[in-house]
Structure 1
Amino acid sequence: MITRKEVGSRMSKIVEYNGVVYFSGIVPNDKSLDLKGQTKEVLQMAEELFERAFTDKNHLLRAEIYLKDIDKDFQAFNEVYDAWISKEHPPARACVQASMSTPQTLVEIVFTAAKIQ
């Protein structure tokens, strides 16, 4: 059975199937922040979504990271991400440069996690 939460006309923010939780891309609300600020906001938003989906960062399976300017922001992103991510249970990860939905968006992250049983 597929369960969807926070369903809109275009997408669901959370989709669960067979004990795996898929999250839509998370972008910051405050686009005036620098890369570190946007990353911190995205990770805080992620934790709130994880709670609603009965999972947490220790159960992450995958993180897909999109940076507007990977050459400029990769190191700064990793400083924030490395301080946040579980050292004992890090997920598989990809990090690429991408055109964003707005010129002010510097980071977007897509997570996949196992539901806590």
Structure 2
Amino acid sequence: MIARSVPTSTSNRVVVHNGILYLGGLGALDRPNDTDMYGQTQQICTRIDEFLAGAGTSKDHLLRATIYISDHSLKGEMNRAWNEWLTQEQKPARATITVGDMGDNLLVEIEITAAVPAA
């Protein structure tokens, strides 16, 4: 069975299949012109925690992350927030891809795959 939830105009934010959760790319919701890569990454990590909890899992069950950033020179700031959010035992396999301007002052977007423990 495939469970789809949190619909957007173009996708479902969360899809769960065979105990695996796929969380579509998340950006920071609050991103005024003075929000930096660190602050946006912190916001996204908080959102990830909320989506994972809503699906019955947590960052302890992360499998993979794909991170899209607008400026490679700011990767260190994204990594700082990421490393504050996760312990070494929680860190998933990860790729970081520099994509250039994402528009609307969006500096980072994170996509997650996680296991959903059996209830």
Q: What's the counterpart of residue 108 of structure 1?
A: 109
Deviation at 1:100, TM superposition (A): 4.5
**How many pairs align?**
116
Task: Verify: 1:10 aligned to 2:10, yes or no.
Answer: yes
Map 1:1-117 → 2, pairs under 5 A: 1-32=1-32, 33-70=35-72, 72-117=73-118
Q: Which letter does structure 2 place at the counterpart of 1:17?
A: H
Q: Residue type of the partner of 2:87?
A: S
Q: Which runs of 4+ in 1 moved over 2 A?
A: none
For the Cα contact (< 8 Å) 2:69–2:107, is it kept in 1?
Answer: yes
Shift of 1:61: 0.4
Deviation at 1:7, TM superposition (A): 1.9
Q: TM-score, normalised by structure 1?
A: 0.93
- Per-residue CA shift, 1:42-62, capped at 9, x if unaligned? 100111000111111110000
5+ residue gaps, structure 2: none
Residue aligned with 2:56, SS: coil
Quick one: percent identity of the two aligned structures?
34
The CA RMSD measured in Å over matched residues stands at 1.2
- Range with bigger deviation, 38-47 or 100-109: 100-109
Gaps of 5+ in 1: none
Structure 1 residue 94 displacement after superposition: 0.2
